[in-house]
Chain A
Amino acid sequence: MAAAHPQLDVDVSAKVIRRAAATRAGKVALLSGGGSGHEPLHGGFVGTGMLDAACPGEIFTSPVPDQMVAAAAAVDQGAGVVFVVKNYTGDVLNFRMAAELAADEGIEVRTVLVDDDVAVQDSTWTAGRRGTGATVFVEKIAGALAEQGADLAEVAEVGRRVNELSRSFAVALTACTTPANGKPGFDLPEDEIEVGVGIHGEPGRRREKLGTAREIVAGALEAILAEPVLTDTDQVIIMVNGLGGTPLIELYVLFNEVVAQLADRGIAVARNLVGNYVTSLDMAGASITVCRADARLLSLWDAPVNTPALRWGI
């Protein structure tokens, strides 16, 4: 990754990826991280307009607090650090410990917890909704606001708002194969799909016969738009995300369905991302993330960004 992107500084011993160029004094820093295997998340979103640093863990395993504290100390410009944390028990616990240790070192930390995955039902009986695709939206929009000079509370607040306005749903056609396990995490017959998968190859909540793109999108949008917060929306940012083993041509087919079915509901797609942004190693499948966006969020979305995986306006 360091070889491909000279604008990144990759500290192999501390396991921290950060911007090679220093940011200005007084800028709020954004820090995220999580297990590896989801590339380009998170290191691919380090750069102007998004993250200041990312902490990659082992494959699908949260990084450890030492990494996060080292990263926070390296990127804090005196204005504090926002941790963008996906809601998985390991990420939550390690980032919580890191926030306490950073505070001991005089670094002010705010945490934005991302929990956008509507596939998780009965969330009071589970670890809660998982953080998936909305992480990209939170990092982009909060990153833009930090670049514009907002203070720590404002940057964290917009991050939380983006999370609140975002929902995701994923389906898989195959399981992924982690190196530790060496074989697919679950067996899936050729003609079935796993509905509501997470981003770690953990099986979904149920299996269905493989349907058409139209049926898959209809099911996903029904789950996503079921929540009141997303019903009075007339414009949205959409991400159709490949999980690692799905060709772009299939993602475009899905995206086309998303646009058509949202239009039927009177919802306009104002901006979009179609591609591999939050992957699960070699898993075939896709996730759909919807974020209701007002003019302010769209303007922050359009702000310049220069990272390995997102780049526009520069």
Chain B
Amino acid sequence: MKKALITSVALAALFPLGAAAQERTLTISVYAFAQDDYKTIVYDPFEAKCGCKLVVETGNSVERIAKMEANKANPVVDLAAVSMADGLAASRAGLIDKVDASKLENFSKLYDVAKDPNGDGMSVGYTFYATSIAYRSDKMKIESWADLLKPEYVGHVAFPNVTTNQGPPALYMLGLALGKDTPDLKAPIEALGEKKDEIVTFYEKSSQLVQLMQQEEIWAAPIGRFSWAGFTKLDVPVAWATPKEGQTGGMNVLVLTKGSKNQDLALQFMDFWLSTEVQTKLAEKLIDSPANKEVKVSDQVANNITYGEETAKSLKLISSAAALDNRNGWLKEWNEKVGQ
């Protein structure tokens, strides 16, 4: 009886502690990419540091923004990692708050391009990447984005679908190579449409490209630099193209949900993610190219990521506004010219 009483009292005493621990829960919404490494490098150390619980939701950018919109009145997510364009979409939809940079110790360490990518103070860049063409150097030579459509090469090319993050930037560069610099991407989509039967596939997942390259199904594909590591492990010679029109790419940003009850904790987490230590570890694992300029990596790592401010500045990016305003038009045009 006495034992039972003591047990009951002990359990009752634990309840308030449980409730307190529950109050310190941070919910983040991120890409499903490399979650095991993120857990080791970012999530677990932060949980240990803050004494809080981290709940991680994963999915693609558009899906997660849609979910945030559905829960606008009573937000579930406190912080989200999304593409630059989706950061602007969230801002336009009134889903996110301004980022108080004064509360971020690591803000000054960021490259200028990452401090306020959309120019509205609503997001901070945590990684950027180059997009160019991975190609079989023993089979072909790529000097221009237009080379992908050469008759001798086009039957061995995989091009990113317009629905992927790599699709519009790659189309944009193809447009530049064709002498058409317009945000509607009509010219490059039309050019691709004319060759659609010859192109091997319009890929949706870059993860399938390594296998296709290994099987000699494809010789070339525009890819993001974050996918490059897999190609370097192939037993066939693969090179990263530096076309005369330049390279394109993208940036991912961190945003704070409007109406979140854990904004201070979310800012702490954001600051932790942007720290030199975390950004260095993520870069060394070839997961994310660092947005923190204090990150120093070996030449071998640098060659496999998008490294340095000059590189970031040289990328020809589609502005977030152009991407948002033209997204549905691109999809419609693509479905008419390429999808049928």
Co-assembled chains A and B: no
